[in-house]
Structure 1
């Protein structure tokens, strides 16, 4: 008896998903524009996110690719403050908060993130 090959319900849409990711769309946009209408609502957003990350269709970032992220080092609102006897400190003028040195892109509270970011979080 042959074993059935396990396939995902998203496999027929793989090429469309890859093309949309390369075009810069987020997973939520792909879900709303391609997957949800094609499956008549018989799917969940979390399943698509798992499929994308599990199959390596997109590099998993600190926010799992759910939203576009800008880089603080390239931001006009971010700067460095030179401190006496310490390394320079990164600072966001718009949020009036310190950006920790471990942050490589931008912090979750950043007001320029697509989610709107909470400035006082």
Structure 2
């Protein structure tokens, strides 16, 4: 018996999704403009996020591409502290917090994030 190849409901729109991501659109914009009208609302936003991340269509950052982020290595408020017996520790002077080594762009609590800027 031959196994059935499993396909996603988003597969027919893969080229459109990739083109939109390369054009700089967020996953929310792609869902609202392309996917939801094409499927007549018969889909969920979280399903599209899962599809994009599972298929490697976009590099997954800590925020999954939901909002623009900056790179801590290029930030004037961030730096490294050399510890005596350990590896250097990344530190944000503005927030007075440690930046974990697993964070590749900037952490969610970063004061320079667009969502947080209006709050502070």
Question: Does TM-score exceed 0.5, indicating one fold?
Answer: yes
Q: 1:41 to 1:89 in 2, by over 3 A?
A: same
Task: Report the counterpart of residue 79 of structure 1 in structure 2.
Answer: 79
Task: Report the counterpart of residue 18 of structure 1 in structure 2.
Answer: 18
Consecutive unaligned residues of structure 1, counting only runs of 5 or more, are none
Consecutive unaligned residues of structure 2, counting only runs of 5 or more, are none
Task: Report the counterpart of residue 54 of structure 1 in structure 2.
Answer: 54
Residue 108 (1) aligns with residue 108 (2): yes
| Structure-1-length-normalised TM-score | 0.70
Point out which structure has higher relative CO (alpha carbons under 8 A, 6+ apart): 2
Q: 1:114 to 1:30 in 2, by over 3 A?
A: farther
| Structure-2-length-normalised TM-score | 0.70
Secondary structure in 2 matching 1:91 = strand
> Retained in 1: the 8 A contact 2:90–2:100?
yes
Superposed CA deviations along residues 6-56 of structure 1, whole A, max 9, x for unmatched, are: 332212211110011112222222112221232232210111011112222
> Retained in 1: the 8 A contact 2:20–2:30?
yes
Q: How many residues align?
A: 118
